[in-house]
Amino acid sequence: MTAKPITLHELPADLHRDRLPQHVAVIMDGNGRWAKNQGLPRIMGHRRGVDTLKDMLRCCKDWGIGALTAYAFSTENWGRPLEEVDFLMTLFERVLRQELREMMEEDVQIQFIGNLSALPHSLQQEITRSVEETRHNKGTQFRVATNYGGRQEILEACRAIATQVQQGHLTPDQIDEAIFERHLYTAGTCDPDLLIRTSGEMRISNFLLWQVAYAEIYVTNALWPDFDRSEFHRALSAYQARDRRFGKLSSARS
């Protein structure tokens, strides 16, 4: 665990508690570039990225944000060099093992989204253990997208629904958004209100394609290992300045 920053333990005074996002999703990008800038191997960026994520999770608790979803590994990330993929899988496993006690103390409920069956067996075991042990915790809901792909998630939902139609449990005209959502990895959870991407890239990279339909998107040039509470504060200030119209007219104008 890194030391907590000495400031920003409490919700910054300029943020409105009643207008915080309930659910923040984050594309944690820029670990490799951060390491390169420091003259370090890429894997050191991933290590530092874990510290950033731990503090962001704590920060959600401190500031009263109920759910955090973090993109840890995409279905496309298998295309990276084997050493990096192996390092990440081992890192995920170690972090889960080391952090379980603290997640229990902090009342975090951890869940995973993605195609978990393709992950190394030992990692799957740690995932099952952490999900099982934290399942009754009532604090922050922490979802980790691991071997996650939005297109794959949608395809899996389509297959499951098609099977139900084939078996006569459902007719095509009964398929609506609610039924579709029930077949996504995120079934039963609210959509992200705010999607943060670090490292300046203006893309979604196959993350939560269905669920971000009306998320407010915030992109910062900060690289993920540098994303601290001040950066999060800036993201939340930007979010609170947005006019979420959901296709209707502005509440100020109507």
Q: Which residues are catalytic?
A: 29, 77
Q: Exactly one of 52, 69, 74, 140 binds ligand IPE (CB under 6 A); which one?
A: 74
Rounded to whole angstroms, the Cα distance separating 126 from 132 reads 10
Q: Exactly one of 24, 29, 60, 215 binds Mg ion (CB under 5 A); which one?
A: 29
Examine residue 72 and tell whether it contacts ligand IPE (CB under 6 A): yes
Q: Segment contacting Mg ion (CB under 5 A): 26-34, 35-43, 84-92, 111-119?
A: 26-34
Give me the phi and psi of 32, to 5 degrees please: -65, -45
Q: Measured over all CA atoms, what is the biggest interatomic distance in the chain, rounded to whole angstroms? A: 60
Helix/strand/coil for 113: strand
Examine residue 75 and tell whether it contacts ligand IPE (CB under 6 A): no
Q: Are 22 and 190 within 8 A, CB to CB? A: yes
Please give the residues from 158 up to 217 whose contact with ligand IPE meets the rule CB under 6 A. Answer: 199, 201, 203, 205
- Choose the one of Mg ion, ligand IPE, none that binds residue 31, judging by a C-beta under 5 to 8 angstroms depending on kind: ligand IPE
Q: Which two tokens stand for residue 127?
A: 């995932």
- Cβ atoms within 10 Å, residue 241: 8
Q: Exactly one of 29, 99, 216, 231 binds ligand IPE (CB under 6 A); which one?
A: 29
Q: Exactly one of 71, 92, 185, 232 binds ligand IPE (CB under 6 A); which one?
A: 71
* Run of H or E including 127: helix 121-134
CA-wise closest residue to 209 among 253, 163, 145: 145
Examine residue 146 and tell whether it contacts ligand IPE (CB under 6 A): no
Contacts with Mg ion by CB under 5 A lie at: 29
Which residues of the chain form contacts with ligand IPE (CB under 6 A)?
27-33, 71-74, 77, 88, 199, 201, 203, 205
